[in-house]
Amino acid sequence: MTSSPAVAQRPHGRRSTPESRAWWLGQAMFFPAMIYVLAVIGLPFALAVIYAFSDIKVGSVGYHFVGFQNFSSILRSATFLRALYDSFVFTIGSQVLVLVGSTFLALALEKKFRGRGVVRFLMLLPWVAPVSIGAIGWKWILDSLYSVINWVLVRIPILHLDKFNPPQWLGEPALAMASVILVHTWRLLPFSTVILLAGLGAIPKDIPEAAEIDGAGFWRKMFQINIPMLLPILNVALLFGIVFTFTDMTVVYILTRGGPYDTTQVIPSLAFFTGVLGGDLSEGAAISLFMVPILVVVAFLMLRQAHRTEVT
C-alpha cells in the first residue's frame, strides 16, 4: 500500500486547498452510505433495546418501562436456557468440524491438478445455494420415511437397524441436534475452505522450500510452518463462521422448527417464534439481545486481529 503525500487531512486554515477539498468531497461521498446503514441498523438496534425493557406486544397501546423484568423471566425459562445451550452446541460443534474439514480440503486443493475446477465448483455448491434451499434439500434427505441415508444404513447388516424403525434424523432429540450441526457444517465448509485457500496462496513459495532444505519433512512442514502461517486467516474464517452460525435461524427453522419439543431451538429462532409469530415484541427483543455479548467478543477479536496484521 503506497502512502501518498496527498492523503487528505482535516483542513486547518481557512484557505481552501486541494487537500481540504478532497477531504470534504470524501466526507460527502461517504455520508449517504453511512447514514443509510446507520439508520437501518442503528435505529432498529436501539429500538430492540427499548422494546426489551418494556412489555410491548403487537397491538399494545403506549409504552411501559419494566426494567429488567423480561431478562429475568427469560433466564428462568427452561426453553430459553435450552436454546442458549443449543446455540452454543451448534456453533461450537459445527465450527470445530468446519475448521478441521476445511483445513484438510484446502490443503488437498492447493496444488493444481486435472479436474480441480470441477471439484471447486462442486465444493462451492452448499455455500452458493440459498440457505433455505440447501436446508430443505437436507430435509428431504433426512425425511422420517424416505430418507435415502436410512435406506442405505438399513441395508448394512453390521448396523442391525430395524427396517421399520429407522433413525429419525429430525425426530429424535440427539439425532436432530446432530443433523442441524451437520447441515451448518455442510453450509460453511466451502466458505472456510475458500478463505483458507486464499491464505495458503499468500504464503510465499520459498518458505516451505527453505523448510524443506532445512530438513523438514511433510508433517513438520505442515504443523510448524504452513499451519502457523495460516493462523491469522483461520482466525478470520473461524470468527465469521461463529457469527454466521450463532445468529442463524434458517437451518433450524426449516429442518426442525426448533423441535422435537424445543430440543433444537436456538436463540434467533426462539426470538422469531416469540417475537414475530407470537407477537410478544418485548420478550422476543430481549431474547435476541442475548446474542450481543458473543458478537461483541467476536468484534473485539476481529479488530485485534486486523490491528495485528496492520502493524506488520
Partner 1 sequence: MAVVETRGLTKVFKQGELGAVNNVNLLTQEGEFLVFLGPSGSGKTTLLRMIAGLETPTAGEILIGGQDVTHLSPRERRIAMVFQSYALYPHLSVYNNIAFPLKAQKVPKEQHRQKVEWAAGLLGIGKLLHRKPRELSGGERQRVALARAIVREPTVFLLDEPLSNLDAKLRASAREELEEFHDRIKTTTIYVTHDQVEAMALGDRVVVLHQGVVRQIGTPREVYDEPADTFVATFLGSPPMNLLEADGVIVGFRPERFFPAGLLAPGGSPAETKLASQGGTRVPLRFHVEHSEYLGAERILYGILEGTRFRDKPVCARISSNILEIYAPKTTYDFAVPEPELKFFDAQTGKRIPPRPFSWQ
Partner 2 sequence: MIARGRIREWFIGAGRFAVLLFFSVALAFPFYWMVLTTFKQGGDLYNLNNNPFIFNLKPTMEHLHVLFRETMYLRWVGNTALVGIIVVFITLLLSLPAAYSLARLTGRWGERLGIAMFLTYLVPPTLLFIPLSRIVASFGLQDTIWSLVFVYPSFTIPFSTWLLMGFFKSIPRELEDAAMVDGLTRFGAFVRLVVPISLSGILTVVIFTFTLVTQEFVYALTFIAPESRQMVGVGVPTFLIRGDVYFWGELMAACLITSLPIALLYNMFLDRFIAGFTVGAIKYPAVYSL
Q: Is 99 in the site for partner 2 (CB under 8 A)?
A: no
Considering only 13, 18, 115, 204, the residue that binds partner 1 (CB under 8 A) is 204
Of partner 1, partner 2, none, which one does residue 189 interact with (CB within 5 to 8 Å by kind)?
A: partner 2
Q: Is 196 exposed, middle or buried (0-12, 13-18, 19+ CB in 10 A)?
A: buried
114 binds partner 1 (CB under 8 A): no
Q: Residues in contact with partner 2, total (CB under 8 A)?
A: 111
Rounded to a whole number of angstroms, the minimum distance from the CB of residue 212 to partner 1 is 5
Residue closer to partner 1 (CB basis): 50 or 211: 211
Please select the residue that binds partner 1; options are 67, 217, 277, 293, rule is CB under 8 A.
217
Q: Which is nearer to partner 1, 119 or 206 (CB)?
A: 206
Does 165 participate in binding partner 1 (rule CB under 8 A)?
no
State which of residues 99, 176, 233, 234 lies at the interface with partner 2 (CB under 8 A): 233
Got the DSSP string for the chain? ----TT------SSS--HHHHHHHHHHHHHHHHHHHHIIIIIHHHHHHHHHHTB---TT--S--B-TTHHHHHHHH-HHHHHHHHHHHHHHHHHHHHHHHHHHHHHHHHSS--TTHHHHHHHHHHHHHS-HHHHHHHHHHHT-TTT-HHHHHHHT-GGG---TTS---TTTSHHHHHHHHHHHHHHHHHHHHHHHHHHHHHTS-THHHHHHHHTT--HHHIIIIIIHHHHHHHHHHHHHHHHHHHHT--HHHHHHTTT-STTTT--HHHHHIIIIIIS--HHHHHHHHHTTHHHHHHHHHHHHHHHHHHHH-
C-alpha cell at 213: 532444505
Alpha carbon distances (Å) from 254 to 159, 183, 257, 259: 29, 11, 6, 11
Distance between CA 179 and CA 160 in Å, rounded? Answer: 21
If one asks whether residue 209 binds partner 1 (CB under 8 A), the answer comes out as: yes
Asked if 25 is part of the footprint of partner 2 (rule: CB under 8 A), the reply reads yes
Q: How far is the CB of 194 from partner 2 (least distance, A)?
A: 6
Using CB under 8 A as the binding rule, whether residue 212 contacts partner 1 is answered as yes
Contact between 222 and partner 1 (CB under 8 A)?
no
212 binds, among partner 1, partner 2, none (CB under 5 to 8 A by kind): partner 1
User: Which listed residue (169, 170, 180, 248) binds partner 2 by CB under 8 A?
Assistant: 248
Stretch that binds partner 1, among 28-36, 147-155, 204-212, 246-254 (CB under 8 A): 204-212
Applying CB under 8 A, which of residues 89, 92, 97, 141 lies at the interface with partner 2? 141
Q: Is residue 211 a contact point for partner 1 (CB under 8 A)?
A: yes
If one asks whether residue 4 binds partner 2 (CB under 8 A), the answer comes out as yes
Question: Which of these ranges, 67-75, 77-85, 91-99, 121-129, lies near partner 2 under the rule CB under 8 A?
Answer: 121-129
Task: Give residues in contact with partner 1 (CB under 8 A).
Answer: 204, 206-207, 209-217, 220, 224-225, 228-229, 231, 312
